[in-house]
Structure 1
Amino acid sequence: MNAHLSQKNLQEMHALIRTAVDGDKDALAQLIASIKDKVFNLALRMLVDHQQAEDITQDILIKIMTNLSSFRFESKFETWVYRVAANYLMTSNKARRAELHLSFETFKTDLESDLELPSEEYTSRMDYQVLLNELRISCTMAMLLCLKPKARLVYILGEIFELDHAQSSDILACSPATYRKQLQRARTEVVEFTQQSCGLVNKQALCHCSKKLRGTCKRGCVNPSNLRFTSNEQIDFIEVEKRLSHTTDTLKTLLSQRSIQAFESPASLSHILKHTLEQAKSYYQQSLN
């Protein structure tokens, strides 16, 4: 039954793609709606900055629209979408300019600065737990910026998105064996750093969110009036802390990364794409000529 439904879904997706390629704007809008969150989450995980991720997601989706006729139905559409997105994130000048070129050494130094025990007045704030969660999410995501872009992409696809090795290697145009080696190297770097420096994973680490919060708020890295990552969809700080305390050491790093739920693409992106879709027919005429 599941195989039958899967085949049916595949046929429906292929029919939708062909209709979109023929210039049907409604089909194209439906197709883009089905992938925009995936592309945005990949861009956000790669860049962390919301505005940059939104900007680059727009570029990637336009690239997908203008090159849709090149999809040959030889792989999953999702795989092709991720391949287009990954290539853009790795090669475009805009994505390269967005790189912060962090290292685990500099990130560790930053984590261990501005530490102070929170006062009772601070911990009694109504938004204290919300701010802790904002810090947890932003720090956990920013940690991956210490990986080189290719290693970061490998880690995101395999450990966070949980794509299988065959699909990930197809996205990255390498052999499954090469992908496995790259993933293992990236995983080792992230695990070693997290186990040494993250207080949620290792109680003996110097940096704990409660000690780091006040300093990051003072520097504007966490802004109580403009939360970038915390929402009702995200697991709260106390729950993550509880889950980690009941998790074996070898899995704590993975759990801390996967405890960040997928994000919805911003409403502003949908507004921009709506205007872009109005021009879709002319895009397709150009790409097909």
Structure 2
Amino acid sequence: MKDHLSALVQKANLGDREALEQVLLKIKDLVYNLSLKMLLFPEDAKDATQEILIKVVTHLSTFNHKSQFKTWVYRIATNYLLNHKGKRSKEFAMPFKDYTDLIDLGHSNEVRYTKNEGELSLLEEEVKVSCTQGLLLCLNEIDRMVYILTDILGFNGVEGSEILGISSENYRQKLSRSRAKVRSFLNNKCGLVNPENPCRCTKKIDFLIDQKIVNPKDLRFAHFSDRSIDLVGRIDDLEKSVAIYRSTPNFPAPEELLEEIKTTLKIN
């Protein structure tokens, strides 16, 4: 894969438009998923992904093939995302204490919205992904990115520090701080992580619909997820707070994204 992608980059830099399109096809989903984890809202993630991919294309000739191409792409993506505030993301971000208050509100033992098992299954999944991904916005941008790179995407400290351009020691400190905050919150509040906690995804459905945080007619995540909520308990080699995130599958970038980029860059 590495050699094939590197060869495509070389061809693209020589003016091969088809090779350039193949490069974009191979990286668009990884850029979109990183953007989605940082920004939570698909509309923000789509806009960020488009800007990042345009930067990749316009700076492609500077790639020197000394590192993996995807690592180089992640560097461009992380640099952009650390300086980008999505409109919806900025409005929703809040301190951990405020998020705790939000979690404690509106528990109901019976779902009013629907009794249909299929709908309930989708809504429960939507709440799980929305809630746990939304929690990441309580971290500041750099700590959030460090947590995403290592505990969600699986990069080790050396790789993560290289992507972010910071020292390994600095990276380890930020990772330790982020892990402690996320772990503490989930252990104290999330029923998936600690069965003794009262909060359950089903209990939050009506409240989040009432607050317009979840739109049952326009689900952001559940249609792309194979009930990741059921996978958390099966991931035995990871602590639950990490399993919460790694159980969530990658999401495909919007189909129209590539065409919009090609139009912007006049790639035919």
TM-score, length basis structure 1: 0.85
Match of 1:79 among 51, 71, 82: 71
- Cα distance change on mapping 1:266 and 1:166 into 2, 3 Å: same
Following the alignment from structure 2 to structure 1, what is the Cα–Cα distance between the partners of residues 229 and 163? 36
Match of 2:227 among 219, 224, 236: 236
Report 1:200-215 matches (<5 A): 200-215=192-207
- For residue 218 of structure 1, what is the aligned residue in structure 2? 210
The residue identity in structure 1 corresponding to 2:253 is S
Following the alignment from structure 2 to structure 1, what is the Cα–Cα distance between the partners of residues 57 and 227? 37
Give the match's secondary structure for 1:127: helix
- Cα distance change on mapping 1:177 and 1:223 into 2, 3 Å: same
Match of 1:107 among 99, 103, 111: 99
Q: Which runs of 5+ in 2 are unaligned?
A: none
- For residue 285 of structure 1, what is the aligned residue in structure 2? none
The residue identity in structure 2 corresponding to 1:262 is N
Matched, 1:154 2:142: no
Following the alignment from structure 2 to structure 1, what is the Cα–Cα distance between the partners of residues 226 and 113? 25
Match of 1:41 among 33, 46, 57: 33
Deviation at 1:19, TM superposition (A): 1.4
Deviations 1:233-255 (A, max 9, x none): 523166236537xx58x711111
Give the match's secondary structure for 2:15: coil
Give the match's secondary structure for 2:222: coil
Give the match's secondary structure for 1:264: coil
Match of 1:176 among 164, 168, 179: 168
Larger Rg: 1
Following the alignment from structure 1 to structure 2, what is the Cα–Cα distance between the partners of residues 152 and 73? 28
Following the alignment from structure 1 to structure 2, what is the Cα–Cα distance between the partners of residues 65 and 103? 36
- For residue 133 of structure 2, what is the aligned residue in structure 1? 141
- For residue 263 of structure 1, what is the aligned residue in structure 2? 251
**Is the Cα contact below 8 Å between 1:140 and 1:257 reproduced in 2?**
yes
The residue identity in structure 2 corresponding to 1:236 is R
Instruction: Tell me the percent identity.
Output: 36
Matched, 1:88 2:76: no
Following the alignment from structure 1 to structure 2, what is the Cα–Cα distance between the partners of residues 261 and 36? 16
Deviation at 1:24, TM superposition (A): 1.5
**The structure with more helix, counted as a fraction of residues:** 1
- Cα distance change on mapping 1:241 and 1:162 into 2, 3 Å: closer
Following the alignment from structure 2 to structure 1, what is the Cα–Cα distance between the partners of residues 198 and 52? 40
**Is the Cα contact below 8 Å between 2:128 and 2:229 reproduced in 1?**
no
Give the match's secondary structure for 1:270: helix
Deviations 1:54-83 (A, max 9, x none): 011100000110011111112111111000
The residue identity in structure 2 corresponding to 1:213 is I
Give the match's secondary structure for 1:62: helix
Following the alignment from structure 2 to structure 1, what is the Cα–Cα distance between the partners of residues 216 and 113? 16
For this pair of structures, how many residues does the alignment match?
A: 267
Deviation at 1:256, TM superposition (A): 0.8
CA RMSD, 1 decimal: 2.2
Deviations 1:15-44 (A, max 9, x none): 221211122111110111110001000100
- For residue 124 of structure 2, what is the aligned residue in structure 1? 132
TM-score, length basis structure 2: 0.91
Q: Which runs of 5+ in 1 are unaligned?
A: 1-8, 281-289
- Cα distance change on mapping 1:150 and 1:69 into 2, 3 Å: same
